[in-house]
């Protein structure tokens, strides 16, 4: 893919950069399967990036590389001026814990904890806030679930559970969020609500959010669309009316 910068970004705004990144797997037959080939692009703060592709196209593989969950690749990944390719696992884990957020299709909420407690749990290891209560309530308000504080996951709808998972990801104020098929288990209407929430968070918090999906109905919501099937990157000119 051709190197490209995100719309609206200047040289001092580069948050994540991929430089000729490639990833391959060796099949049982001994054949080499190239999943990601010579991919180069730069992302800035405050963008919603959607990675599109059918199952097996490499969406999750690319997301894991960008999110420092996979270090076995060729090329370079630079995040916030740090060369992730040169860090060891302990150093990468430190970056993930303090500067990145993750949202998954399965939501992975702890069933024995309330919405409030699930978010609080994400903060405990950071020691970042003097008043967790205030920060948690602020975050619940951001995802419009202030009235679900004491609810357990089984008492929430699928869309509400995903919004709690998003709150858990943003409560520590990450610079970037990686979301792997966050709408995969949701109906079309609820999926659109979640992605509109992403757009609002991008605008309000100047977050960069990178998500994978195969849902064609969500593609127009992206500032940047990375199409792994067509090996193309599309930068949208104006998303202000969405």
Burial annotation 60-77 (CB, 10 A radius, 16+ → b, else e):
bbbbbbbbbbbeebebeb
Over its C-alpha atoms, the chain yields an Rg (Å, rounded) of 18
Is residue 152 a part of any domain in this protein?
no
Q: What per-residue confidence (pLDDT) applies to 33? A: 83
Domains identified in the chain, total number: 1
* CA atoms of 55 and 41, how far apart (whole Å): 22
CATH number for the domain harbouring residue 103:
3.40.50.300
The answer to whether residue 167 is domain-embedded is: no
- The answer to whether residues 156 and 111 touch, using CB atoms and an 8 Å cutoff, is no
What are φ and ψ of residue 98, in 5° steps? -100, -25
pTM score: 0.89
Task: Identify the pLDDT of residue 1.
Answer: 45
Q: Which two tokens stand for residue 10?
A: 């200047």
Q: Dig out the tokens for 241 from the structure.
A: 């009316």
Domain that holds residue 16: 11-108+174-235
The list of the chain residues with pLDDT below 70 reads 1-12, 128-130, 237-242
pLDDT of residue 27: 80
> 17 lies in a domain?
yes
């Amino acid at each position: 893919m051709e190197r490209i910068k995100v719309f609206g970004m200047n040289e001092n705004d580069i948050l994540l950069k991929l430089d000729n990144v490639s990833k391959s797997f060796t099949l049982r037959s001994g054949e080499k399967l190239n999943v990601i080939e010579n991919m180069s692009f730069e992302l800035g703060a405050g963008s919603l990036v959607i990675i599109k592709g059918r199952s097996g196209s490499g969406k999750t593989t690319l997301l894991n590389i960008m999110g420092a969950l996979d270090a076995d690749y060729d090329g370079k990944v630079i995040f916030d001026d740090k060369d992730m390719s040169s860090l060891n696992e302990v150093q990468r884990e430190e970056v993930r814990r303090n500067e990145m957020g993750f949202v998954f299709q399965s939501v992975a909420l702890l069933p024995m904890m309330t919405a409030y407690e699930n978010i609080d749990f994400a903060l405990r290891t950071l020691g970042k806030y003097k008043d967790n209560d205030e920060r948690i309530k602020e975050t619940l308000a951001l995802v419009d679930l202030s009235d679900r504080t004491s609810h357990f996951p089984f008492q929430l709808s699928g869309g509400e559970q995903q919004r709690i998972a998003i709150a858990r990801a943003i409560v520590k104020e990450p610079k970037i969020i990686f979301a792997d098929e966050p709408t995969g288990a949701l109906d079309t209407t609820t999926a659109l609500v979640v992605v509109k929430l992403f757009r609002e968070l991008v605008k309000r918090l100047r977050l960069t959010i990178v998500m994978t999906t195969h849902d064609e109905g969500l593609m127009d919501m992206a500032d940047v669309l990375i199409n792994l099937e067509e090996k193309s990157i599309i930068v949208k000119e104006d998303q202000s009316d969405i």
